[in-house]
Amino acid sequence: MSVLLILPILLPLISASLGILTRQHVVAQRWVSLLGITTYLIIGFVLISQVLDQGYLTTQVGGWQAPYGITLIADLLAAIMILFTGLIGFSVLLYSLMSSKHKQGDFSPAFHPLVHFLLMGASGAFLTGDIFNLYVCFEIMLMSSFALMTLEGRAEQTEGAVKYVVLNLLSSAIFLAGLGLLYAKAGTLNMADISVISQQAVADDKAGPIRLAGLLFLVTFSVKAGMFPFFFWLPASYHTPSVPVSALFSGILTKVGVYALIRLHTLIMPGEVLGHKLLLILGVSTMLIGVFGAASQMHIRRILSFHIISQIGYIVVGLAIKTPLALASAIFFIGHNIIAKGNLFLVAGLASDSVGSEKLHKTGGMWKAWPQLGLIYLVSAFSLAGFPPLSGFVAKFSIVWATVESKLWWVMAAAIFTGLFTLYSMIKIWVEVFWKDHPDPNRDLTVGKDSKRLVPVSLLALITVFIGLAGGPLFDICLRAGEQLVDPTDYILAVLGKIK
């Protein structure tokens, strides 16, 4: 039994509760929030260290043994997700605490508790070994994210939030239908137990109901991840909340959906239960739709929102190929994208505060006014596009190499093409926001300039560089995680003790 597995769920709950109790005391609430996320991040490092040493950590909640009780389990994939969630959560909260809005009291007292509730839901999703509790964690995240999206009460936020929540509630209903169908057939909701039963059903040629449940899960997780053809809610909503909320959403929400897809295709229903050709087509379509959508936009956060979609496509392609290299590439890509994309949203917020708009034709002059910010933008933007020696190069090169090993030449071509169009969008933002002169010569570009907020964005940029330069050792960890996913036998043994 590992108490360490309970802490990433329990600690955000405690931080959120204390944040509610201290809502009338702004300074106390901020310290509670910062201390909570710092401790969470430390736990993330300890967790990945323990998993690297032991392989798997498991806890049977309440002492009820699997498959009858609730299982918490951490393999390398879960530990990596917890660590990167802590990194983006720490950076976003630090960015928020250093903003002038916090000093002026413009931030809602609900912001910090809701962020920690969101972290609690994400952590539960990463660590649960029970598919019903995965549903519960999705709902915790949905409620928290809906509230975060509408905190400022603007009309566009309400419109975006309604689109977001309606489609996600529909996907939750589909998830419940799949759970009911699966439980009726398998008689269990423990993911390791379901894996054993589904493989046996395939061997006995009785996998029809399980396959149907799997398709329902595929639809649900595709919506959560922002995959084609269920992506349209994302660019309609992610640009509407405050910048820290957009950055947090880009780093966590869709990545939980992708994580669920990985569990679905490597554990819950591995092998022949669900085909991977469909997933490969959906992944490539997601890449192309996302990058074309970004190229057509002239609003900074809309461009970045569409690129969330295109980057999800790369991860799904790695999952669909399902070799150890491809899965390792997908995991590395997730970590890189959480950092690089989250930082781009934060940089966009700093730039838009100075230029007074997020519409590209109304921006300009930031390179002369704030060259440090321009340099940080270039690091994150070139990383997203896949330039060496940054993290994006390692992530995209490994995905492309996995397609070469599998002789999927058309997928390789789509991945390279998407990378080039990503570069086009990043250059477009650079030229419009930083390089050209501001269209209003009387605009004071020092307005909104907050040098303290360079600390968290500089931190994320340095992490991006570090991940790229230390790509070899870090990729080896991801390769171990990919090998765990390819063969779930050890995972099942860690949960059940034996295979029936």
Name the band, by pLDDT with cuts 50, 70 and 90, for residue 207: low
Q: Is 70 exceeded by the pLDDT of residue 247? A: yes
pLDDT of residue 104: 41
Q: Is the dihedral of CA 283, 285, 288, 291 positive or negative?
A: negative
pLDDT at 270: 60
What is residue 121's predicted lDDT score, i.e. its pLDDT? 93
pLDDT digits (tens, 9 = 90+) for 35-93: 999 999 999 999 999 999 988 898 888 777 777 778 899 999 999 999 999 999 999 99
Closest CA to 346 of 252, 240, 456: 456
Residues with Cβ within 8 Å of 259's Cβ and at least 6 positions away in sequence, in order, are: 77, 81, 125, 126, 334
Q: What is the pLDDT of residue 242?
A: 85
* The predicted structure's pLDDT at residue 260: 92
> For 216-241, what is each residue's pLDDT tens digit?
888 888 888 888 888 887 887 777 88
Nearest to 205 by CA among 274, 276, 273, 268: 273
Q: Where does residue 500 rank: exposed (0-12), middle (13-18), buried (19+ CB within 10 A)? A: exposed
In this structure, which amino acid lies at residue 79? Answer: A
Residues 6+ apart with CB under 8 A from 296: none
* Average confidence score pLDDT of the chain: 86
Q: What integer pLDDT is reported at residue 166 of this predicted model?
A: 84
Alpha carbon 71 to its chain's center: 23
Over residues 402-429, mean pLDDT: 89
Residue of 252, 239, 241, 214 lying closest to 85 (CA atoms):
252
Q: What is the pLDDT of residue 480?
A: 92
Percent of the chain with pLDDT over 90: 32
pLDDT tens for 300-351 read 888 898 888 999 999 999 998 888 999 999 999 999 999 999 999 999 888 8
Say if residues 40 and 83 touch (Cβ distance below 8 Å). Answer: no
Q: Which one is predicted more confidently, 180 or 235?
A: 180
Of 73-87, 123-137, 268-282, least confident by mean pLDDT is: 268-282
Model pLDDT, residue 87: 94
Task: Tell whether the model's pLDDT for residue 406 goes beyond 50.
Answer: yes
3-class DSSP state of 419: helix
118: confidence class by pLDDT, cuts 50, 70, 90: very high
Residue 271 clears pLDDT 60, i.e. is over it? no
Residue 21's nearest CA partner among 29, 30, 13 is 29
> Is the separation of the CB atoms in 172 and 220 below 8 Å?
yes
Is the pLDDT higher at 48 or at 184?
48
Q: With 80 as the cut, is the pLDDT of residue 387 above it?
A: yes
